[in-house]
Amino acid sequence: SYTTDTKSREENKKTIESLYSLSVDIKKIRRLKEWVLLQDVAYVKEIAGILQEMGADETTVANILERCPEAILRTPAAINSQKALWQLVCQNEKQLIKLIEQFPESFFTTEYHENQKGNILFFQELGLKNNIITRFLTNAPNIFYNPVEKNKNVIETLQRNYLSLGGSDANMKVWILKLLSQNPFILLNTSTAIQENLEFLQKNDFTDHEVLQLLSKLKGFIFQLTPTTMQQSMLFSKSVFKCSDQELKQLVLKCPALLYYSVPVLEERLEGLLREGISVAQIRETPMVLELTTQIIQYQIKKLSALGYDIKSGTLESLNGTKKDFEVNYGKIQSKKERPIFNPVAPINTED
């Protein structure tokens, strides 16, 4: 543990000199994490040496230490162990040093070494490709801090539910790996929370097949919700669209965002659409527009209006989907508008 009491401490001159010799911007460290410079023991040259051995040049070393100065407080033994661990999933040292430069905090968090090692091996056994595991290590490092048993329990709960909802043994592995690849944060949930959320959907008359459909559509984000928040979102949608339970269920299957987004988010997006002159009936017809932020909707409507396209009188299909989908729709409307109307059998007007 490191002290963060900066009042009674002085900066470690040896640390400052060593960082200075590596062209590290010390002002930047003082501004962001001055407490690092106050520690009695630091391994500046040793850590820089390990990075250089992996192929990091002077600029890269300085960049890494500026972004994650606490790296110099790790022992060389801990960093060498971490290096060996990450090499289990990295193709070579060149790839490893590139990852360390991009995500230094993930690499230099060495306190959970044994858990990290156990989880890497577990993910490999599960069938996850090494490039996916490196993505997890850099973008979702906290899933590796869990004991392996905790992550195994969550995976087993998902597998058990997949089969009980009618999924086949043959497809289960592919389904689990896809779900994990899309949303590794599933592993931060408890088995109980997963169970409760699935039971909530079943109690609300979603068939087993529909529950599986929702899990896949929501990429597992459903597990980051609670029965209470889902209930509130569904009640809000029911009151806005004035529909029956059965109609609401169909709307949710069409647009799982109605289940996923909280009431304040749905409210804000709905109000944004209504301000643009779009009716509730139009939104009910194409509820997927609620997946887009108010800013995106405003931008798209502005672009379409410039082409003379009136969104109020048509469907909202042209706003629907990803940015790429919109550009395709926009291009079609634009080319339709620019194309001259030509009738091949019309007589040509010529002056006598």
pLDDT at 55: 93
**pLDDT tens per residue across span 178-200:** 999 989 999 998 888 889 999 99
Flag whether 104 is in a domain: yes
Flag whether 162 is in a domain: no
**pLDDT tens per residue across span 265-311:** 999 999 998 988 888 998 899 898 898 888 988 888 888 888 777 77
Reading the block at residue 304, the tokens are: 């379409």
**Locate tokens 């806005």: which residue?**
240
pLDDT at 3: 52
What burial letters (b/e) apply to 121-145, b meaning 16+ CB within 10 Å? ebbeeeebeeebbbbbbbebbebbe
Task: Read off the pTM.
Answer: 0.78
Flag whether 258 is in a domain: no
pLDDT band at 2 (very low <50, low <70, confident <90, very high): low
Given a cut of 80, whether residue 51 has pLDDT beyond it is yes
Q: Compute the mean pLDDT over every residue in the chain, rounded to the nearest whole number.
A: 88
Reading the block at residue 350, the tokens are: 């010529």
**pLDDT tens per residue across span 167-180:** 999 999 999 999 99
Exposed / middle / buried, residue 231 (Cβ in 10 Å: 0-12, 13-18, 19+): middle
pLDDT at 338: 65
Flag whether 239 is in a domain: no
DSSP reduced 3-state for 185: helix
Flag whether 72 is in a domain: yes
The answer to whether the beta carbons of residues 260 and 221 sit under 8 Å apart is: yes
For the chain, percent of residues with pLDDT exceeding 70: 93
Farthest CA pair distance, the chain: 102
Those residues whose C-beta lies under 8 Å from the C-beta of residue 281, and which sit 6 or more positions away, are none
Distance CA(301)–CA(314), nearest Å, equals 12
DSSP of 238-287, one letter per residue? Answer: HHHHT--HHHHHHHHHH-THHHHS-HHHHHHHHHHHHHTT--HHHHHHSG
What burial letters (b/e) apply to 174-192, b meaning 16+ CB within 10 Å? ebbbebbeebbbbbbbebe
Residues 237-252: what's their mean pLDDT? 93
Given a cut of 60, whether residue 45 has pLDDT beyond it is yes
Given a cut of 70, whether residue 109 has pLDDT beyond it is yes
For the chain, percent of residues with pLDDT exceeding 90: 65
pLDDT at 350: 45
Overall number of domains in the chain: 1
Crossing angle of helices 208-217 and 245-254, rounded to 10°:
40
Given a cut of 90, whether residue 145 has pLDDT beyond it is yes
Q: How far is CA 293 from the centre of its chain?
A: 16
Flag whether 84 is in a domain: yes
**pLDDT tens per residue across span 223-238:** 888 999 999 999 999 9
Given a cut of 90, whether residue 52 has pLDDT beyond it is yes
Flag whether 38 is in a domain: yes
DSSP reduced 3-state for 207: coil
Where in the sequence is the domain holding 78, given as residue range(s)? 10-110
Residues 202-213: what's their mean pLDDT? 92
Flag whether 48 is in a domain: yes
Distance CA(292)–CA(159), nearest Å, equals 32
Distance CA(138)–CA(201), nearest Å, equals 33
Given a cut of 70, whether residue 5 has pLDDT beyond it is no
Identity of the residue numbered 116:
Q
